Amino acid sequence: MSSVVVVGTQWGDEGKGKIVDLLTNYADCVVRFQGGNNAGHTLVVDGKKFVFHIIPSGILYEEKKCYIANGVIIDPGVLLGEIAELHGKGLPVTPERLMISENAHLIMPYHQSMDLAKEDSLAKGKKIGTTGRGIGPCYMDKVGRVGIKAGDLLDDALFREKLQANIEEKNFMLTTKYDSAPVSFDTIYADFQKYAEKIIPFIGNVSVELDVARKADQNILFEGAQGTQLDIDHGTYPFVTSSNTIAGNACNGSGFGPAHIDSVIGILKAYTTRVGEGPFPTELFDATGEELQKIGGEFGATTGRTRRCGWLDGVIATDATRLNGLTGLAITKLDVLSGQSTIKMANSYELDGKTIHAMPSNINQAAKVTPVYEEMPGWSEDITGVRDYDDLPVNAKDYIKRIEDFTGVEPVIVSVGPDRDETMLLKNPFDKKD
């Protein structure tokens, strides 16, 4: 049995879904442990495109069991929509294939109303760049001990009580503070009665199930959302998400003991992107940035927003190595760099005349840093057809080796295209060490 955690090392959008899909081939269970439908994982299998926002990417393997754990927040309408879409593509999702933690919190319509109203009230330059899907307000209710959990759908009296109390409070805020329209108890209650009928069969105790799987020597794959620099504690706060995105939350977000984690794979895009607001030291505002955006198809899977593009930021890569305890790297979108005569990587920052080697926690300082670059020769060859690491251009392998030397973490996967077969598995993290 091995337990492997997959996390993003940058600001999300590193290609985690594809890597999870690859590693699911060697897993028995796939667990989504944090975030909500503000994240999107895009997979291309046999030319068919799949986009998941809540359901673990491993759902494409019919013989695997998938779990939505307690650290995830769930919009029932979005979840049921994904289930229906998969059913329409000939992949029925049943309770035998998917379990939802009874402790996972539900995103309610008033969370979305609060999210949009608060963002609209912020002055230009102060906006967070929220997706408006109610993620922050839902996590706020969770921490404030007034949230509604999936398990509450099993107790109608408890659900009604919590819903009524929340609507009274949220409508006061919406109408008084934000001058927005109130929400309706009757409408929300009726909608969630319909959701409950379909969702209840999937609800269970994920922590217990994972412990049973561990004791049965099954391989477990933990799937994170977003990226390290969006972590609520360790990212570029306040331009972050509302959950802990780093590997440590795989345990807290699923009820799985940390002593049972065997390896942590960090997904590292060969360059850097960011969606929304916030500091981005290596961002490019020239033709190279536009070229990376175009060739890489850098549009958000969830929002459709154009991703800001820049050179690889080695500083945040080493931050991710430290914060996640990475044991391996999965380098994605290496093919997008083909044709660049020179490739750059930031190996440090300059701030007020000093050299620093970590992202500042002060957001004003983070916005002021200047990246210090090192340059490497690029390659002109199209590498999307490469299936053996030794067949990569020398300069491409040198670039990967420099990343390994700089982070101190070995590459275990290299991706040269979006399809499932355009990925080279150099070392299987599910293989037990001697």
Cβ-count burial 126-154 (b if 16+ within 10 Å, e if not): eebebbbbbbbbbbebbeeeebbbbbbbe
Strand 263-269 to 3-8 pairing: parallel
Instruction: Specify whether 335 is catalytic.
Output: no
Of 21, 28, 41, 111, catalytic: 41
DSSP string, 314-355: HHHHHHHHHHHT-SEEEEE-GGGGTT-SEEEEEEEEEETTEE
- State how far the alpha carbon of 142 is from the alpha carbons of 67, 108, 196, in Å: 20, 12, 20
Q: Taking Cα atoms as reference points, which of 161, 233, 153 lies closest to residue 197?
A: 153
Q: How far are the Cα atoms of 98, 162, 166, 167, 174 from residue 170, in angstroms, in the given order?
A: 32, 12, 6, 5, 6
Residue type, 173: M
Residue in 365, 360, 416, 407 with CA at minimum distance from that of residue 387: 416
- Judge whether 13 counts as a catalytic residue: yes
Taking residue 331's Cβ as centre, other Cβ atoms within 10 Å add up to: 25
Least Cα distance to 14 among 331, 384, 347, 346 occurs for 331
Point out the catalytic residue in the list 13, 75, 115, 313. 13
Q: What are phi and psi of 299, to 5 degrees?
A: -130, 135
Which H/E stretch holds residue 160?
Answer: helix 156-172
Residues carrying an active site annotation: 13, 41
